[in-house]
Amino acid sequence: MRNLSVALALGAAFIVGCPGHAADVKEKAEVCKGCHGDNAISQMENIPSLAGQLDQYIQWQLVYFRAGSRKNEQMQPIVEDLGNEDIRNLGAYFAAMQPFKGTPDDNPELSAKGKQAAAGRRCASCHGDNFAGTKAVARIAGQREDYLVKALHDYKSGARVGGGQAAMADVAYPLSDEEIEALAHYLAHL
Ligand code: HEC
Ligand code: HEC
């Protein structure tokens, strides 16, 4: 009964509060862009681009940061101030932005190795044929190369656990440093 009235109240707030809510999410997103980049395309080392990242994926990661199951010193103070509605709004906001595009490939040989590793490890079976992701599985095409390397090492070392059945831990564990380097280079230049 209580849940129903909360749901109704939220629904009503959404309908009547639309312009206010849009301004609010834009304001909140300004803080994010300080690190994640003006168009949510990151210019900073080890900080991922968010533009065109999947709505569900973004929301889950914010929930993991807030719950402390994903740890990062820079994100920690940010998520403390976010409520569930903020998280929903921010997910939709960044997902709707023009996705990041890979930079021109300066090392096609390394990309070829990465492509081969991605096929051998069946990365596309979860991340999609174009690595554009689906639902809670991240878009990884065009992501920053340094961040991809960091993310794969974090899964491999167990520093990052991830959701679901910890799919990425099993995937990353057997990857060699050379494979990680090649995969990150390939994906970043798609
Ligand atoms: C002080 C810099 C900083 C600010 C401000 C910041 N972030 Fe982050 N964010 C980071 C870093 C660094 C990471 C990478 C964490 C890691 O390596 O695990 C990250 C990761 C993320 C991720 C995970 C992305 C992925 O590909 O897994 C999401 C989602 C995210 N931030 C959303 C936000 C949102 C939304 C805001 C604003 C409310 C925000 N961030 C503000 C630094 C920042
Ligand atoms: C069984 C399904 C599955 C397979 C196979 C898989 N992934 Fe993932 N991947 C996921 C899921 C689910 C997530 C989100 C996990 C989380 O919440 O941290 C993810 C997240 C990632 C991330 C983090 C993205 C970010 O923005 O932080 C990277 C990088 C990644 N995968 C790369 C790969 C690569 C490279 C391969 C092949 C070697 C691969 N994945 C194979 C399911 C998979």
pLDDT given at position 34? 97
Per-residue confidence in pLDDT tens, the chain, 190 aa: 444 444 444 444 444 445 556 679 999 999 999 999 999 999 999 999 999 999 999 999 999 999 999 999 999 999 998 999 999 999 999 999 998 887 789 999 999 999 999 999 999 999 999 999 999 999 999 999 999 999 999 999 999 988 766 789 999 999 999 999 999 999 999 9
pTM of the predicted protein model:
0.91
Please give the structure tokens belonging to residue 160.
């990052």
CA of 143 relative to ligand 1 center, distance in Å: 13
Looking from the CA of residue 64, the nearest atom of ligand 2 is 17
pLDDT of residue 7: 46
Domains of the chain: 2-95 (1.10.760.10), 108-188 (1.10.760.10)
In sequence order, the 6+-apart residues with CB closer than 8 A to the CB of 104 are 189
> Which token pair is 183?
């995969």
pLDDT score at 4: 46
pLDDT in tens, 128-183: 999 999 999 999 999 999 999 999 999 999 999 887 667 899 999 999 999 999 99
pLDDT of residue 187: 97
**Ligand 2 lined by 141 (C-beta under 6 Å):** no
What local confidence, expressed as pLDDT, does residue 101 receive?
A: 80
Q: Give ligand 1 pocket residues (Cβ under 6 A).
A: 28, 31-32, 34-36, 46-48, 50, 53, 58, 61-62, 72, 74-75, 78, 90, 138, 150
